[in-house]
Chain A
Amino acid sequence: MIRFLAAFVMLMGSHLQAETLKLAVTTSFNNSGLSDVLLPAIKADTGLDVQLLIVGTGQAIRLGEAGDVDAILVHSKKAEEAFVAAGFGTHRREIMYNDFVLIGPSSDPAGIAAAATAVEALQRIAGAQAVFVSRGDDSGTHKKELSLWSAAALDPQQFGPWYKAVGSGMGASLNTASSLDAYIMADRASWLNFGNKRDLGLLFGGDPVLFNQYAYLPVNPARHLHINQVGASRLEEWLTSGRAKQLINGYQINGEALFVFNAVP
């Protein structure tokens, strides 16, 4: 028995590794399904085996700081700039954007579908004290939500029990909203790919303030010698190429384009 196990373990452990690159990405990026299209293409064009660590922006940045990944792809401009300024990343390269939308029960008790701006929509939710699920996990989406509340001159710290910070990823938060019939802010891609919509519907979107810029930041090899610097720049080259542009702009769910490529070659 033990001999069998030992042989099995050795067999499993011995398979060879191609050139790998560890990339921390946000849950919203992965949930969109875009990674399933991009990764095989990257592998075919560059030979890179990109290993995705799917985490919130907060943790992605920590992983980059610690040198546990070779690059990060996130969407929180302030945090990204701080990351580069502190010397953890070499530079910040904008790749594409998608947009956030406001989701809620199709009956829309707060009437946000009629709001003119995202800020007004949030003010209506707060005014109606309708149940609202917040990511509450320091992710890019969470930070964006907080900045909108603050633009609406409201402070989530003061909110009553209708405001629920669940401290989870996009999918788990959407699951919570769906079972509570609550409002939630999500990126369009995660929403379209989400399989448990139940009574929820897309109620508000399109305000430019909701645009969500993704940027690529290679980790600084000066701080961490083991970083795959060559691979990271090869990936950057690919992500800003015409091939990436075609794949990103062409990616659709239910006939809707999700991402807009805006990298400067």
Chain B
Amino acid sequence: MNEIWAGIQSAFRLIIALDADLVEITLRTLQVSLSALVIASAIALPFGTWLAIRRFRYRRAAIATLNALMGLPPVVVGLIVYLLLSRSGPFGVLGLLFTPTAMIIAQVIIITPLIASITHQAMRELWAEYHDLLISLNTSQGQRVFTLIWDGRRTLMTAALAGFGRAIGEVGAIMIVGGNIDHATRVLTTAIALETGKGDFALALGLGFVLIALALVVNLAIHALSRTEREGTW
């Protein structure tokens, strides 16, 4: 109990003092996770929607695979990305290992199936509702995907936020591919792991509270942005 209290205090100290290291780590955390979110959403939203409206032979298998990929263990993803990006690996020439880019790649792999799967489920319902109308209006495949994404954007935002939550809280994969290098690839979760290792629970917990606050702020900010639209809730 004392340690939790000390953690809260140290979180306040860090935030009030605008600790330079904390600001740097926090910005990097946002940079990595938001980049991963944007890239993963750009892939997963259209793909999940397409999967909901398109009938093809291996559709069931594709959906089952997608749902299975949702449970990918981050540590394994990290290890595989590490081996691929290592100087001795197939993409070693790119020199990406231990850079924020490598961390973004790992996070994209981890959260894309999650976002795509939630998207698919939400879009399947909406498609059942819109099916007859959109067919009747002679819409192209692209127009259908766009209409569904636009009209389902609130649900999709939830999908994206779920992905963001998973990305920003992830430590196993980015520790491996990022290396937790101070001033280069250290983010909040890896810093927490490091401070825990040093037995400095107060600082670790303080960083943990900063992480939680950050996740909340991003969620609230996105919700607030979406609420500025005129239509209100349906």
Direct contact of A and B (CB under 8 A): yes
A residues at B contact (CB < 8 Å):
1-2, 5-6, 8-9, 12-13, 20, 22, 27, 31, 49, 51-55, 65-68, 169-172, 174-175, 178, 193-197, 224, 226
Nearest CB in chain A: distance from B39 CB, A: 9
Contact B31 A8 (CB under 8 A): yes
**Does chain A have a CB within 8 A of B142?**
no
- The reply to whether A67 and B179 form a contact with Cβ atoms under 8 Å apart is no
Report B164 CB to chain A, min CB distance, Å: 11
Residues of chain A lying within 8 A (CB to CB) of residue B87: 66-68, 224, 226
Contacting pair B181 A195 (CB below 8 A): no
Query: Measured between alpha carbons, how far is A212 from B196 in the docked complex, in Å?
Result: 24
Q: Is the Cβ of A9 less than 8 Å from the Cβ of B199?
A: no
In the complex, the answer to whether B199 meets A12 with C-beta atoms within 8 Å is: no
Verify if B54 is at the interface (C-beta below 8 Å from A): no
CA distance A31 to B31 in the complex (A): 27
Closest Cβ–Cβ distance, residue A264 to chain B (whole Å): 30
CB contact between B198 and one of A12, A51, A171, A224 (< 8 Å): that residue: A171
Check if B86 is an interface residue, CB within 8 A of chain A: yes
Please, which residues of chain B bring their CB within 8 A of the CB of A12?
Answer: 27-28, 30-31
* B196:A22 contact, CB within 8 angstroms: no
- CB-based contact B38/A51 at 8 Å: no
B200 close to chain A: CB less than 8 A: yes
Binding site for A on B (CB under 8 A): 27-28, 30-31, 34-35, 38, 86-89, 92, 95, 97-98, 100, 179-184, 194, 196-201, 222, 225
Q: B35: which A residues are within 8 A, CB to CB?
A: 9
Tell me which residues across on chain A come within 8 A of B198, comparing CB atoms: 31, 171, 193-195
For the complex formed, measure the closest distance between the CB of A215 and the CB atoms of chain B, giving whole angstroms.
Answer: 21
Contacting pair B197 A2 (CB below 8 A): no
* Contact call B197/A172, Cβ cutoff below 8 A: yes
Rounded to whole angstroms, the CA-CA distance of A66 and B35 in the bound complex is 28
Which residues of chain B are near A65, meaning CB under 8 Å?
88
- Which partner residue on chain B sits nearest A12 by CB separation? B31
The listed residue with most A CB atoms (<10 A of its CB), out of B35, B95, B182, B199, is B199
Bound together, the chains give a CA A256 to CA B96 distance in angstroms of: 41
**A8 cross-chain contacts in B, Cβ below 8 A:** 30-31, 34
Our pick among B38, B98, B181 for the contact of A5 (Cβ within 8 Å) is: B38
Residues of B within 8 A of A6 (CB): 38
Would you call A9 and B34 a contact (CB within 8 A)? yes
Q: Contacting A53 at CB < 8 Å: which of B88, B95, B181, B196?
A: B181
Contact of B98 among A2, A9, A68 (CB under 8 A): A68
Decide: B97 and A171 in contact? CB cutoff 8 A: no
Query: Is B199's CB under 8 angstroms from A171's CB?
Result: yes
A-B contact pairs, 17 of them (CB 8 A): A1-B222, A5-B38, A9-B35, A13-B100, A22-B181, A52-B182, A53-B98, A53-B181, A66-B86, A66-B88, A67-B92, A170-B197, A172-B196, A194-B199, A195-B201, A196-B201, A197-B199
Complex: how many Å from CA A49 to CA B31?
Answer: 21
Instruction: Give the distance in Å from the alpha carbon of A226 to the alpha carbon of B31 in the complex.
Output: 27
Does the CB pair B196–A51 fall under 8 Å?
no
Interface contact A27-B197, CB-CB below 8 Å: yes
Q: How far is the CB of B194 from the nearest CB of chain A, in Å?
A: 8
Q: In whole angstroms, what is the CA distance A27 to B38 when docked?
A: 34
Cβ 8 A contact of B95, one of A55, A171, A194, A226 = A226
